[in-house]
Amino acid sequence: MYFFLFFADLESFLLVAMAYDRYVAICFPLHYTTIMSPKLCFSLVALSWVLTTFYALLHTLLMARLCFCADNVIPHFFCDISALLKLSCSDTRVNELVIFTIGGLTGVIPFLLIITSYARILSSIFKVPSSGVICKAFSTCGSHLSVVSLFYGTAITVYLCPSANNSTVKETVMSMMYTVVTPMLNPIIYTLRNKGEFV
């Protein structure tokens, strides 16, 4: 469970860093090398690792204090927090509070930062009347936007839709989309952007 939480949140924070990189590249192209210095890139990655380590460790330690009933079959292909909480015989209010507060912050704030950076990119693109600039900006951002929409779209579908309407099989398939399929597609999607003619 620790590694699932760590890598899922790390993906979220790294998507924010990449969105900021796209924002600086398009809105401040002449200052790109000074703004996106190696020191800033290292700081963004290090901050992502520290925050996700804390978050994953917090959930793992809170989960370790729970008692579990005799039925210990998890209907998922990984140890999802919600599936583990359903198996617990203990009081899970603290775990649920942490999920909704810290989990909401680590999910919502990165998503809002990505949306904000792309809104600013769009506003600066449409100020320039050249169609070449628009095509180049969309080819630069298209691959990242496809990964963001795949990652957040499936995560939102799994965690924000009422569980009464979703079957266990549907939840498992949707969970696989953002835990397995998205990381596997990242190299393919970003390679298409680098070739230029496919986007």
**Residue pLDDT, tens place only, 70-79:** 667 666 666 6
Q: Give the residue extent of every domain in the chain.
A: 2-194
**pLDDT tens digits along 101-126:** 887 788 889 999 999 999 998 888 88
Please compute the mean of the pLDDT values over residues 82-96 and round it to a whole number: 80
Q: Which of 40-49, 79-88, 160-169, 177-186 is predicted with the least confidence, judged by mean pLDDT? A: 160-169
pLDDT of 75 reads: 64
pLDDT of 82 reads: 73
Provide the b/e sequence for 93-105 (b: ≥16 CB within 10 Å): eebeebbeebbee
DSSP string, 151-196: HHHHHHHHHHS-TTTS-HHHHHHHHHIIIIIHHHHHHHHHHHHHHS
Name which CATH class applies to 2-194: mainly alpha
**pLDDT tens digits along 116-172:** 999 998 888 888 777 777 777 777 787 788 888 888 887 777 766 655 555 667 777
